[in-house]
Structure 1
Amino acid sequence: MSLKNSVTKSDYMNFDSTLNKAMKIIKTEKNYKLGFLVVYGINAGLRISDILKLKHEDLVNDSISLTESKTNKKRVIRLNDNVKKAYGLLLERNPNIDGFVFTSNQDTVFSIQYVNRMLKTMFGTKTLAISSHSLRKTFGRQVWANNNETDKALLYLSELFNHSSPAITKTYLGIRQEELDDIYMSL
């Protein structure tokens, strides 16, 4: 929980190590649904409010259509192999599930606070500020890296994130700060 009137920000995580750890969580740990939430989050780039609305019937096709909560804009998310594999593992753990994907033992949808607390416990370090928003930032950083850190990638991400400009996306992903830091280090 942050202090009133304080500025907090979440960090992105390393995509590959986060994916591997989340897959292991799905296979071995009690909180296997949280492992799937991480895989889905870093591969879809959605806000946590939209992730928590995910239902099992949404995952039977190759894509998901939704209206984002914050922006009211329609989006289509293609399910990549990472998500499909993780969902298969989730079904192996609990083949009789239906309705919302991310539910507790009491059959209530996870709260954002619960997800944030669990992510901090499972993925946080002393140097990383991890929250549910870290999943979205991890997605963005991976897209940017996979596209050779180009302006074209920032343009696509700006559109996916519904940012008003690529400059805002740069700041959001922490890229702008890294560029400014490089100026000091180049002297």
Structure 2
Amino acid sequence: MALKGQKTTSDFLEWEKMQSLVLRLERDGEYKFALLIATGSYIGLRISDLLQLRWEQVLNQDYFIITEKKTKKTRKVTINPELQEILVRLYKSLQAEESQYMFINRFGDKPFSIQYVNAKLKEIFIKYNNKGQYSIHFIRKTLGCRVWEVNKYSDQALLLLSQLFNHSSVSTTKIYLGIREQEISNLYLSV
């Protein structure tokens, strides 16, 4: 975790690579991190909100309501059917209880710490040979880049992502996703 005021950068994973990583983690018994990466990539919550989720909020639900820790804003999060399949599968693999945190620590009483998640993600990316600079932000960025790509790199998609991420402006979202000015200019020229 960065020091207060320190700038950090993180790459994103292409959608297919994210899905492949989730399956590889699941195959190798790393169920909690398969769950963390899948859930975060499909719903795009900040890590502080993601770690507070309980199974009963998401399991067999179409959506859930959350008050975001950072912004104090209430948000309705729709659960993608593909994510729901992953949730059910990993819930069974983890033999979890519905009232538990989804990302429960080894003592079984609290969710993971953000520091632990960052350290474990570094291990995972080394083990699975994913080159790049990754921190907890890669999860939200993966969703953002996927949404932008699926929506043909449209300004409308950036506007909606800005609202989804609770950014103060679309330009903040562009910076967050790593969209450079030249790339933006090329988009206009390609139409």
| TM-score range normalised by the length of the shorter chain | 0.7 to 0.9
Letter in 1 for 2:82: N
Q: Give, in angstroms, the shift of residue 126 of structure 1.
A: 7.6
CA distance in 1 between partners of 2:47 and 2:5 (Å): 22
Name the stretch that deviates more: 137-146 or 172-181.
172-181
> For residues 86-165 of structure 1, what are the structure 2 equivalents within 5 Å?
86-98=86-98, 99-107=100-108, 108-123=110-125, 127-165=131-169
CA distance in 2 between partners of 1:64 and 1:180 (Å): 34
CA distance in 2 between partners of 1:75 and 1:48 (Å): 15
Structure 1 residues 71 and 2, CA gap change in structure 2 (3 angstroms): closer
Name the stretch that deviates more: 165-174 or 92-101.
92-101
Letter in 2 for 1:114: Y
Q: TM-score, normalised by structure 2?
A: 0.85
1:33-65 per-position Cα deviation (integer Å, ceiling 9, x unaligned): 111110000000110000000001101311011
Name the stretch that deviates more: 12-21 or 134-143.
12-21
Is it true that 1:9 corresponds to 2:13 in the alignment?
no
CA distance in 1 between partners of 2:122 and 2:41 (Å): 15
Gaps of 5+ in 2: 187-191
CA distance in 1 between partners of 2:140 and 2:103 (Å): 17
Name the stretch that deviates more: 163-172 or 33-42.
163-172
CA distance in 2 between partners of 1:39 and 1:105 (Å): 20
Q: Give, in angstroms, the shift of residue 132 of structure 1.
A: 0.9
Q: Which runs of 4+ in 1 moved over 4 A?
A: 1-6, 124-127
Name the stretch that deviates more: 93-102 or 51-60.
93-102
Letter in 1 for 2:122: K
Alignment correspondent of 2:85: 85
Gaps of 5+ in 1: 183-187
CA distance in 2 between partners of 1:2 and 1:178 (Å): 29
Q: TM-score, normalised by structure 1?
A: 0.87
Give the 3-state SS of the residue equivalent to 2:180 in structure 1.
Answer: helix
CA distance in 2 between partners of 1:80 and 1:180 (Å): 29
| Structure 2 contact 125–131 (Cα < 8 Å) conserved | no
Alignment correspondent of 2:189: none
| Structure 1 contact 23–86 (Cα < 8 Å) conserved | no
Structure 1 residues 178 and 58, CA gap change in structure 2 (3 angstroms): farther
1:66-97 per-position Cα deviation (integer Å, ceiling 9, x unaligned): 01110011111111122111112112213342
Q: Give, in angstroms, the shift of residue 12 of structure 1.
A: 1.1
Q: Tell me the percent identity.
A: 38
